[in-house]
Structure 1
Amino acid sequence: MTSTISTTDTADRREDRSVTRLDSGWLLHPLGEGSALLPERLDAQVPGCVHTDLVRAGAIADPYLDTNASGQAWLFNLDWRYVRDLADIEAPTDGERVEIVFDGLDTFAEISVDGRVVGSSANMHRALRVDVTDLLPARELRVDFASPTRTADAEAERQRHRPSAYPTPFNAVRKMAASFGWDWGPDLRTSGIWRPATVERWRHARLAEVVPRVRVEDGVGIVEITTSLDWASTGEVTLAAEIAGRRAEVRVANGQRRASLTVQVDDPALWWPVGYGEQPLEALRVTLSDDDSTLDAWERRVGFRTVEVDRSPDEFGTRFTLTVNGVPVFAKGVNWIPDDHFVSRIDADRYRRRLVQARDAHINLVRVWGGGIYEAEAFYEACDELGLLVWQDFLLACAAYDEAGPLRSEMEAEARENVARLVAHPSLAVLNGGNENVWGYEDWGWKDLLEGRSWGGWYAAEMFPAVTAELAPGVAYSVNSPYSPGASATGVHPNDPDHGTHHQWEVWNRIDYTHYRDDIPRFASEFGYQAPPAWRTLQDWLHVDGQPITSVPGAKETAVFLEHQKAEDGNRKLDEGMAPHLGVPADFADWHWATQLQQAHAVAYAVDHYRSHWPRTAGSIVWQLNDCWPVTSWAAIDYEERRKPLWYALRQAYAPRRLVVATGDDGWSVTAVNDTDHAWEDVLQARRETFDGGLLAADSSQVAVPARSVLRLPLTAALVAPGDAQGEALVVELGAERVVELFAEVKDAHLSPTRRTSGSRRPPRATGST
């Protein structure tokens, strides 16, 4: 079955371009040593991958289930062949060009028609277009995929094994880094036609690429459109653009490969991140036509806004402050990984559900991490509509990369293609040169291992910013995360909290979460804390001898639990982190809940600290929003889309108005955080109470917190000097906002589920808990 998508024109003219999707009719053949263990052929879905096809056919067990993933490494060395009959694809008529387009091939593919090779790809992150005009009618389309493991191993050998955070060759090739496993994801190394495949038919000329650059100057919206054209025949064409009732057009001479035009919109409504204003979007339509027909059309919704990053020096170090339409924004962010390890399964509905969950937790920025993918259009469209700023990494992560040979050319082509594709989206705010590459080069022993060889610094410092400046001048660029602006010239460490962006991983890996308050980073772009997924998710996916792991003695030390706990020494870190605060329950159900509560407490503690130091600290991006399979991880939402307690803690910690209690060298204080456009004026009431509601001390004062600011207020000694630390709490209220601070750790406090603090209307809880 095929479906046809046609381009239409408001003038109802004849149109000379059609697109036929090649979703069905595919067969998959395993090839090479080990293939005899699988069916000789099976039905394949496109978009899809070999693992999902094998599971659907019953040829392998679901790799997400139990310990199946580790038992399927034998699939790594197989090659794969996709075959489709082309009898339903008609031969071209006179003057017609016919091309097969693959939006994404994962990863090492050779395409042939009736045995004739017509194209190849070695980059999962790029599209491929092959001309088959002279080959139709034809019998068979074949796509052969080479083993990603053997190919990557060979490339790594040729490149002399540049170092990385993991002992896999993900940095030698342009395949999603997390395909080879991560400390929250499985190592499955699948292959397949992971994005749509289509047949495109067109005449005369087509729009090969459309790059709109949208900016606002002196109240005027300016849309500069640059196009690349492909030609099939001779004769002039007309390039036109329409937006908000305004139109511009230009004649394009025969064979001219590039053409540009500009449309202006007076006094456009501005696009804002959520919490700062509305998200108006305007339809931009670009058409290519001759005297008789519309040849091609391109349409996106765009928004008018300006984005900059203030990296100026100040008395604390170097700022990293996002400004949108001239207004400084505190980035209430989360890191995003692919929402399924088998990325072909992530559809528009799943994207939107996840991003609505982010918006509903008061998040205003999503960082697309560099070990994943450039997401589908539906992701960025949802961010446009929901007001979520997008920080998009270029896809380098935790590794050194070769700067020569085929990798260099692939890297640049990939960057150009994806920036051109994404630049239309007003949500796209930051392009970032990679994740922890500069930090790794500086700190992780790479210099000795590399012995002077390249490591990817040129990509981040020169090539990526040049591509950004050319194709997306309205998008801010950052060299890396973390990164200290000017570090190479000044000798400042790339992860210095006083300069630029900062990753805090000492907490979780080595020290207690109370150490989040040791630093006041300028922008915390990664930090986080682990916990298992929801109880029901464990029951669905993890079993021992057919029984859900939740009913198995010693569950957390079983092989199946550890298969879904990828962090090094993860369980030990969970236990050591809980010990001083909640204790370490022996019962698995209690342990499971305590780990989730600890995660919520720890991350909220960090977010509260960062927000209370605005504008010195200008953002926090929690690691991470989501999961790609059922796993113990840093996520706030698990693979089955269930919100962990962390999600609720984020909703509190990122609320537009928030109270934060803290202690320091100068005593106890409460900070009122007001991230709204209106002053926050009310009576601040602070009380020290017993857990049964007895009032021990009280104070009140009229306060006014200006819009988009914080106000720190000292607390009197009587409020913070408990007579019984295990049985008293500090309660602070400002209007509808309320915070409760215990004087003792939760494990030591004399809490009872049957007792309530009558004078406070709600049960006592530790700051940031759910």
Structure 2
Amino acid sequence: MLRTDLHDGWTVRAVAGDPPPDVAAATVPATVPGSVHTDLLAAGLIADPYLDLNEQLLQWVGRTDWRYETSFAWAGGADERVDLVLEGLDTVARVELNGRTVAETRNMHRTYRVDVGALLSVGDNTLAVAFRSPVKAADEASEQIGRRPHVNTHPYNAIRKMACNFGWDWGPDLATVGIWKPISLQAWSGARLAAVRPLVSVDGTRGIVRVAVDVERAGLAGDLPLVARVGDVTVESVVPAGASSAVVEVVVEDAELWWPVGHGDQPLYDVTVELGGDLDTWSGRVGFRTVELRTEPDDRGTSFTFVINGRPVFVKGANWIPDDCFLERVTRERYAARITQSLDAGINLLRVWGGGIYEQDDFYELCDEQGLLVWQDFLFACAAYSEEEPLRSEVAAEARDNVTRLVAHPSLVLWNGNNENIWGYHDWGWQERLDGLSWGAGYYDDLLPSIVAELDGTRPYSNGSPYSVDPERHPNDPAHGSMHIWDVWNQRDYTVYRDYEPRFVSEFGWQGPPTWATLTRAISDEPLTPESPGVLLHQKAMEGNRKLETGLAPHLPQPRGMDDFHWATQLNQARAIAFGIEHFRSIAPHCSGAVVWQINDCWPVTSWAAVDGDGRKKPLWYALRRVFRPRLLTLQPRSGGLAVVVSNDSGEAWAGEVAVSRRAFDGRTLESAALPFSADAWGTVSVDLPKELTLAEDGTAELLVAEVPGAQRAVWFFAEDRDSALPAPELTTAVARTGRGYAVTVTAGALARDLTLLADKAAADAEVDEQLVTLLPGESVVFEVSTAAELDAAALTGWSVLRSANQLLHPRTP
């Protein structure tokens, strides 16, 4: 097979709509793969959509029709077939070759292949892709198939386009078009590999790969030789005459098992398939592992536990959204950066959320290599979907394409039917509005699981998230299956997390602003306030700022000034999520996983993310790293009082003594005890505290400290900060130059709670190794700051950079 990529020489121009005159008159160079927004940006015709109020000013882009064109030379040849392969068009498009329409597409999530051999000319050829306005196309389709409920502004559920490209409660409304994946000519004769699916199983020490092959023929009706290699094992077979498929079984003796991060290594085996000698080849990698989703009834409900190679795994997860609104900008290097940040935070699973995309191959390959589990939603989110034509065929085609593409990846451990649609049908007032219209149940209950069973069969499928296993139950029942917790944040304080005893939490979250460097790069409001225009445009959640302030009220004084507001809301976000995760881990194995919303952002915005839209780590990221560490101490209320809970998410037993002391804020020890504990590998144990430790004489000025020597510390404050006697900051600092930047030593003269060095406020490239450190009087911490900037000591130790909760009770006088 000869492949010729058609990525060069493209232009794009507006052909309908109401673009500005300079755009209407322009034909600009286009990048393929790419999108029209980034083409216009590169041509200097629009401002950066992510800055200030530009999102609002660029709504015309999504309401315009666009035409991409290129020319290419074709030398001709003797091949029986020449296919135009369109791996990703976003979204409603007409494809023309030499003036003839060869394809009409309506789905950005699937591949289209068209035989164009008869239309090609020796010499110059012209290829064009005419894109319909995505906003108008969605509006028209919604009217044609029947309006159905959805969140946000546009009826994204009427076409098969990335839902969040139309805006979400963390994302901008920047509906784009473009050739977002490769486009090529593929010339071939005889036969080609239409699909290859290596299906992995494990039998004792043997790894088994059933290589399922689909073949398309062009003139060769006889037997076709077929060779499959896995590692150093080769099996020869044939595709029988007239047949279009075959299965080759390859057995690897003494196969090394692939494990999730923290549980073992990730050996990968190369797989190669050759058809007809040299007609066509396919290559990929597999890992040998088994995966089970254990949903078993017990006396407290129904479990939802991932079991890998026979071992239950506590999921320390995060939800993943597209890392940019303009997908061509998410390179392998950018995927690698986010995956590294996830792993460094202790995360072992990423859930690819159903309002985005099936991610690029690079994402899954990197997760395979690093042992990061992947939960993959099918792309249905927060809406009702038509089950009739023309949508049904598109859904089936995209599911078949992507199950086939992703089935080899050992990191992928779950197919999930949808995000919140079953819940929405039950609780969001849809049923009366639908008035009998289909809403997607047939996809989630029948079509998608049947495609998974046919093309995969090696990993579990869940109908939705949340889902309570039995369709007769309410879909978000905490006692059964997976649940989402959103009354916390939307209506209730984060301490309500402790009222829940879920079996598995696949979404929960709390908002906070991006880092200061990201915020001020994106927004130039003067003055910059929580309610200035740019800040509000970069806050997409319904009543988001009100919820931020309401969420502060039980815990911290209401801040004055943007600097304190920014710090207080970042701090509260970190505390809220740490609070929830510590509780969920403390009730393991009853609860078998917590998947926080969310790890990443697609632009600079106030959101639930731990890593902001410029790739900077928020305080939440450091909180996740602490509470997702393999061995965790936490102080938790229990029926008899307080307890130290020891979570041991490691393969070795953990035993010793935990030193627990009740201390005054001035550092004096009031009561203490050394309590033995023993936690099995992958186990959790609770140690009740003696009453004298837990009864504070003055709750406003005392705390509990639990420590395991050489391991870690947990603290418990008897009163919220706003009601406590937390002292004014008394910090002494010393700054020393290092090879990578600076070492900032901070010593506390008085109790310092959640001490944090916001390094990006000193230099945009600066990053610190630790945040949210609580120091007792006399204790010190060294913050390692990496930066290329030349900084003086004051830049790293000033009031607005070296932050603590104490400052919010003792604000600086202007």
TM over 0.5: yes
Aligned residue among 95, 101, 125 for 1:139? 125
What one-letter code is carried by the residue in structure 2 that aligns with 1:90? A
Structure 1 residues 567 and 201, CA, compared in 2 at 3 Å: closer, same or farther? same
Supply the distance in 2 between the matched residues of 1:33 and 1:319 (Cα, whole angstroms).
53
**Equivalent residues of 1:90, 1:136 under 8 A apart:** no
Deviations 1:367-404 (A, max 9, x none): 00000000000000010011111000000000000010
* Aligned equivalent of 1:745: 720
Deviations 1:618-660 (A, max 9, x none): 0000000000011000000001100000000000010000011
Tell whether 2:628 aligns with 1:654.
Answer: yes
* Aligned equivalent of 1:216: 202
Paired residues in the alignment total 736
Deviations 1:403-454 (A, max 9, x none): 1011011101111110110000000001000000000000011110111111
Supply the distance in 2 between the matched residues of 1:51 and 1:468 (Cα, whole angstroms).
35
* Aligned equivalent of 1:226: 212
Supply the distance in 2 between the matched residues of 1:95 and 1:372 (Cα, whole angstroms).
38
* Aligned equivalent of 2:243: 256
Tell whether 2:477 aligns with 1:534.
Answer: no
Identity %: 48
For structure 1, the 5+ residue unaligned runs are: 1-16, 545-551
- Aligned-pair distance for 1:343? 1.2
**Equivalent residues of 1:740, 1:765 under 8 A apart:** no
Tell whether 2:140 aligns with 1:154.
Answer: yes
Supply the distance in 2 between the matched residues of 1:244 and 1:26 (Cα, whole angstroms).
41
* Aligned equivalent of 1:128: 112
* Aligned equivalent of 1:494: 475
* Aligned equivalent of 2:760: none
Supply the distance in 1 between the matched residues of 2:669 and 2:63 (Cα, whole angstroms).
70
Supply the distance in 2 between the matched residues of 1:596 and 1:758 (Cα, whole angstroms).
22
Supply the distance in 2 between the matched residues of 1:98 and 1:749 (Cα, whole angstroms).
77
- Aligned-pair distance for 1:54? 0.5
Supply the distance in 2 between the matched residues of 1:277 and 1:251 (Cα, whole angstroms).
37
Aligned residue among 102, 113, 121 for 1:118? 102
- SS of 2:390's partner is helix
- Aligned-pair distance for 1:315? 0.9
Tell whether 2:279 aligns with 1:295.
Answer: yes
Structure 1 residues 429 and 761, CA, compared in 2 at 3 Å: closer, same or farther? same
Supply the distance in 1 between the matched residues of 2:778 and 2:696 (Cα, whole angstroms).
17
User: What's the Cα RMSD here?
Assistant: 1.6
Per mean C-alpha deviation after superposition, the further-off stretch among 661-670 and 468-477 is 661-670
What one-letter code is carried by the residue in structure 2 that aligns with 1:327? R
**Equivalent residues of 2:315, 2:592 under 8 A apart:** yes
- Aligned-pair distance for 1:84? 0.6
Supply the distance in 2 between the matched residues of 1:328 and 1:103 (Cα, whole angstroms).
38
Within a 5 Å distance, the mapping from 1:571-590 to structure 2 comes to 571-590=545-564
Aligned residue among 665, 674, 699 for 1:700? 674
Within a 5 Å distance, the mapping from 1:336-375 to structure 2 comes to 336-375=320-359
**Equivalent residues of 1:95, 1:232 under 8 A apart:** no
* Aligned equivalent of 1:26: 10
- SS of 2:557's partner is coil
- Aligned-pair distance for 1:256? 2.5
* Aligned equivalent of 1:5: none
* Aligned equivalent of 1:406: 390
Aligned residue among 2, 21, 45 for 1:59? 45
* Aligned equivalent of 1:172: 158
**Equivalent residues of 1:742, 1:765 under 8 A apart:** no
Within a 5 Å distance, the mapping from 1:325-340 to structure 2 comes to 325-340=309-324
Supply the distance in 2 between the matched residues of 1:749 and 1:335 (Cα, whole angstroms).
38
Deviations 1:466-497 (A, max 9, x none): 11111121111111000101132xxx211010
Supply the distance in 1 between the matched residues of 2:778 and 2:642 (Cα, whole angstroms).
21
- Aligned-pair distance for 1:759? 7.6
- Aligned-pair distance for 1:76? 2.5
Supply the distance in 1 between the matched residues of 2:492 and 2:542 (Cα, whole angstroms).
15
**Equivalent residues of 2:79, 2:187 under 8 A apart:** no
- Aligned-pair distance for 1:744? 1.6
* Aligned equivalent of 2:740: none
Supply the distance in 2 between the matched residues of 1:348 and 1:141 (Cα, whole angstroms).
28
| Relative contact order higher in (CA < 8 Å, ≥ 6 apart) | 1
* Aligned equivalent of 1:629: 603
**Equivalent residues of 2:641, 2:694 under 8 A apart:** no
What one-letter code is carried by the residue in structure 2 that aligns with 1:296? D
- Aligned-pair distance for 1:191? 0.4
- Aligned-pair distance for 1:580? 1.4
Within a 5 Å distance, the mapping from 1:540-619 to structure 2 comes to 540-544=521-525, 552-553=526-527, 555-619=529-593
Supply the distance in 1 between the matched residues of 2:703 and 2:267 (Cα, whole angstroms).
46
What one-letter code is carried by the residue in structure 1 that aligns with 2:576? A
Deviations 1:46-85 (A, max 9, x none): 0001110001101111111110111111222211111011
Structure 1 residues 609 and 222, CA, compared in 2 at 3 Å: closer, same or farther? same
Deviations 1:63-116 (A, max 9, x none): 1111011111122221111101122x321x223422221210000111111101
What one-letter code is carried by the residue in structure 1 that aligns with 2:284? R
Tell whether 2:184 aligns with 1:198.
Answer: yes
Deviations 1:710-747 (A, max 9, x none): 11111112111222222221000123121111112123
What one-letter code is carried by the residue in structure 2 that aligns with 1:385? E
For structure 2, the 5+ residue unaligned runs are: 731-749, 752-774, 782-802, 806-814
- Aligned-pair distance for 1:762? 5.8
- Aligned-pair distance for 1:254? 4.5
Tell whether 2:60 aligns with 1:74.
Answer: yes
* Aligned equivalent of 2:770: none
* Aligned equivalent of 1:4: none
* Aligned equivalent of 1:84: 70
Aligned residue among 19, 23, 36 for 1:50? 36
What one-letter code is carried by the residue in structure 2 that aligns with 1:751? P
4+ long deviations beyond 6 Å: 763-766
Per mean C-alpha deviation after superposition, the further-off stretch among 554-563 and 121-130 is 554-563
Supply the distance in 1 between the matched residues of 2:434 and 2:120 (Cα, whole angstroms).
50
- Aligned-pair distance for 1:198? 1.6
Supply the distance in 1 between the matched residues of 2:353 and 2:209 (Cα, whole angstroms).
29
Supply the distance in 1 between the matched residues of 2:190 and 2:28 (Cα, whole angstroms).
40
What one-letter code is carried by the residue in structure 2 that aligns with 1:466? S
Supply the distance in 1 between the matched residues of 2:43 and 2:78 (Cα, whole angstroms).
43
**Equivalent residues of 1:95, 1:233 under 8 A apart:** no
What one-letter code is carried by the residue in structure 2 that aligns with 1:514? T
- Aligned-pair distance for 1:32? 1.0
Structure 1 residues 204 and 591, CA, compared in 2 at 3 Å: closer, same or farther? same
Deviations 1:599-628 (A, max 9, x none): 000000000000111110000000000000
Aligned residue among 224, 230, 250 for 1:237? 224
* Aligned equivalent of 2:167: 181
What one-letter code is carried by the residue in structure 2 that aligns with 1:164? H
Deviations 1:682-728 (A, max 9, x none): 11110011223211000012221111111111111211122222222
Supply the distance in 1 between the matched residues of 2:777 and 2:557 (Cα, whole angstroms).
29
Per mean C-alpha deviation after superposition, the further-off stretch among 67-76 and 518-527 is 67-76
- Aligned-pair distance for 1:172? 0.7
Supply the distance in 2 between the matched residues of 1:762 and 1:33 (Cα, whole angstroms).
62
Per mean C-alpha deviation after superposition, the further-off stretch among 722-731 and 42-51 is 722-731
* Aligned equivalent of 2:438: 454
Supply the distance in 2 between the matched residues of 1:499 and 1:325 (Cα, whole angstroms).
24
Supply the distance in 1 between the matched residues of 2:26 and 2:616 (Cα, whole angstroms).
38
What one-letter code is carried by the residue in structure 1 that aligns with 2:272? R
**Equivalent residues of 1:335, 1:368 under 8 A apart:** yes
- SS of 1:86's partner is strand
Aligned residue among 614, 633, 636 for 1:640? 614
**Equivalent residues of 2:316, 2:348 under 8 A apart:** yes
- SS of 1:493's partner is coil
Per mean C-alpha deviation after superposition, the further-off stretch among 535-544 and 523-532 is 535-544
- Aligned-pair distance for 1:197? 1.3
